Amino acid sequence: MTVLAPLRRLHTRAAFSSYGREIALQKRFLNLNSCSAVRRYGTGFSNNLRIKKLKNAFGVVRANSTKSTSTVTTASPIKYDSSFVGKTGGEIFHDMMLKHNVKHVFGYPGGAILPVFDAIYRSPHFEFILPRHEQAAGHAAQAYSRVTKKPGVVLVTSGPGATNVITPIADALADGTPLVVFSGQVATSAIGSDAFQEADMVGISRSCTKWNVMVKDVADLPRRIDEAFEIATSGRPGPVLVDLPKDVTASVLKEPIPILSSVPSMNRRMKEVLEEGSKNVTAKIDRVANLLKLAKKPVIFCGHGVLANPECPTLLRKFSERLQIPVTTSLLGLGAVDERSDLSLHMLGMHGSGYANMAMQEADLILALGVRFDDRVTGNVSLFAPQARLAAAEERGGIIHFDISPKNIGKVVQPTEAIEGDVYESLKLLDSATKNIKIPSRFDWLSQIQTWKERFPFTFTRSAPGELVKPQEVIQELDKQTSDIKDKVTITTGVGAHQMWAATFYRWTKPSSLVTSGGLGTMGFGLPAAIGASVAAPKDIVIDIDGDASFSMTGMELATVRQFDIPVKILILNNEEQGMVTQWQNLFYEKRYSHTHQKNPNFVKLADAMGIKALRVEKREDLAKKMKEFLSTKGPVLMEVLVAQKEHVYPFVPGGKALHQFILHESLS
């Protein structure tokens, strides 16, 4: 259970007032989604004691306390900032983007946000990317963030402009992507009157943001923008939304504003809380190190959290090699380890490798790093990791969960030990704690894994000459022709069967080289994500692996590619169906293909109409040559590959089944 749960009830503006002015300014510490206070001040306290210690650490007493009728804070002179005096809210926005080193903004203009757009008109300090739809702006900003490790910034107008970004916001929350969304709003005098293009964005976005706020006074704008960037990037990253009424962004600041620290002062009590939490973590790390001495069948399972710090994958690889522990990943964790290593188990879960699934079920010790145990990786939770649970009962193993978000710990899988905090810092402690211990031989365990690899390989039946190419062959050919340049390649995908083939038939070697929609599974993600990734890393080769159905949802972003001359490469696997859904209809609905087939436009002609070079592959024997041309083309290019229909994704763990109860390709059955 998440500690500080009682504080969740404080997620209203009014409730903050009773905890004093300074705490009211620190909403991130009490945020429903982030629970930052828990992350920052260690684990191991009971809820009530913990809340008391945190209040004492901040020097706060409730206003209705019998001991005091006012907030107790340390008095200090108030300083003022006059640098914004005489500037409009829009101009303040521009200056705050410079303060936060924003280089690119994605969005779409409209009436309610025009004061901001006017202020950034021809700004030489950052580039504005104008997509054809606000959803694409959000996905592009997500990918930009995933590549740069900085928050993506979105700027849209009110009403439909803002609601169109809700899907990317929800996607960013699910995948832990820092996103700062600024939405226009009707004037404060019109709020609540059902004015033209009015939408309650604070209410609408409350469930899919870490934090949101409407700025009602231009004097509050700098502080709110500072808070937005800090909250988006602190703890488990995620999206925030700042709603900007038009009269606020148009008004002029007339007086200096007080400089309010965005971080509470570090007093003696807070230091004591931090030190107590640190001692607690050290004791837990020592217990985990001892379990590594006892474990005979350990496995590391890593997720997106491992990629949050660029140094973490390097440390993980060295740690795994030194202790000879095999590693599997979630979809978003791909690239954390080099899949060419013998210790790589590739992806885990519903469409993961058979050997990763078997290893997870047979392991006596599981180190779960930066994961949230999504249902796609656990299978039937009650049947998940039985040997690790048995080992935990016998105190010789178990499930060790490392995560920065307290709400993710114990939410799905109850861990034997929970190490709450930054995964990289925790792994450094564990690495140090295991430097001088004697590790048992892993020979038998690694031999068993090799047997599973030989028994359960990723496989498919290749097409005959003259036939439509199999989609898996396309991914393998791409993998082959990029094998020597993978350090320069970033791949995005849409969502569907093509996403799973990309995950399993491409060998991932570079951290953060895959940018895809994981938790929410948003079709249409691939092309706008490729735009954002290419803007973030213009020297990289950015390839969107897409399906025809997924691509069609945001395909008009080809116009954005052309307008900004973004050198993305779009690879469309066209089977004229929603392949992942037809697989379920085939296996579980007696082949009743209800509304899952579609007639597509000619994608080659569509690209040509946009001024983008396009290729088509219809036969297997043309694939290698066309792939070479596709990869060597300078500037944007689209290649459509007509692929076989009803080609299923295997292995496949059906709903309600355990990880080891997977369906194999018919050639292995």
The response to whether 370 counts as a known ligand-binding position is yes
The response to whether 358 counts as a known ligand-binding position is yes
The response to whether 353 counts as a known ligand-binding position is yes
Q: Using an 8 Å Cβ cutoff, are 542 and 514 in contact? A: no
Q: How far is CA 453 from CA 342, 417, 586, in A?
A: 10, 30, 27
The response to whether 379 counts as a known ligand-binding position is no
Q: Is 580 a catalytic residue?
A: yes
* Token pair for 551: 């691509």
The response to whether 202 counts as a known ligand-binding position is no
Catalytic residue among 246, 284, 569, 626, which? Answer: 246
The response to whether 82 counts as a known ligand-binding position is no
Matching residue, tokens 């899952």: 596
The response to whether 362 counts as a known ligand-binding position is yes
Q: Which residues contact 484 (CB under 8 A, 6 or more apart)?
A: none
The response to whether 410 counts as a known ligand-binding position is yes
The response to whether 357 counts as a known ligand-binding position is yes
**What angle is formed at CA 115 by the lines to CA 112 and CA 117, rounded to 5 degrees?**
95
Q: Using an 8 Å Cβ cutoff, are 525 and 557 in contact? A: no
* Token pair for 453: 């690899």
The response to whether 421 counts as a known ligand-binding position is yes
Catalytic residue among 96, 270, 347, 580, which? Answer: 580
Query: Between β-strands 398-403 and 365-369, what pairing exists: parallel, antiparallel or unpaired?
Result: parallel
The response to whether 404 counts as a known ligand-binding position is yes
Catalytic residue among 149, 197, 448, 619, which? Answer: 197
The response to whether 593 counts as a known ligand-binding position is no
> What is the C-alpha to C-alpha distance for residues 638 and 623, in angstroms, rounded to an integer?
14
The response to whether 361 counts as a known ligand-binding position is yes
The response to whether 397 counts as a known ligand-binding position is no
Q: What DSSP state is assigned to residue 575?
A: -
* Token pair for 122: 């021809």
The response to whether 405 counts as a known ligand-binding position is yes
Q: Using an 8 Å Cβ cutoff, are 89 and 116 in contact? A: yes
Burial class (CB in 10 A: 0-12, 13-18, 19+), 39: buried
The response to whether 236 counts as a known ligand-binding position is yes
The response to whether 351 counts as a known ligand-binding position is yes
> What is the C-alpha to C-alpha distance for residues 353 and 346, in angstroms, rounded to an integer?
6
Could you give phi then psi for residue 228, rounded to 5 degrees? -60, -45
The response to whether 355 counts as a known ligand-binding position is yes
Catalytic residue among 52, 79, 196, 275, which? Answer: 196
> What is the C-alpha to C-alpha distance for residues 96 and 126, in angstroms, rounded to an integer?
12
**Other Cβ atoms within 10 Å of 341 Cβ, number:** 14
> What is the C-alpha to C-alpha distance for residues 230 and 213, in angstroms, rounded to an integer?
14
The response to whether 367 counts as a known ligand-binding position is yes
Catalytic residue among 134, 227, 477, 640, which? Answer: 134
> What is the C-alpha to C-alpha distance for residues 171 and 139, in angstroms, rounded to an integer?
8
Q: Is 246 a catalytic residue?
A: yes
The response to whether 412 counts as a known ligand-binding position is yes
Q: How far is CA 582 from CA 222, 434, 592, 648, in A?
A: 50, 48, 9, 9
The response to whether 363 counts as a known ligand-binding position is yes
Q: Is 134 a catalytic residue?
A: yes
Q: Catalytic amino acids?
A: 134, 196-197, 246, 580
Binding-site residue numbers for FAD are 236, 351-372, 403-422
Binding-site residue numbers are 134, 236, 351-372, 403-422, 548, 575
Binding-site residue numbers for Mg(2+) are 548, 575
Binding-site residue numbers for thiamine diphosphate are 134
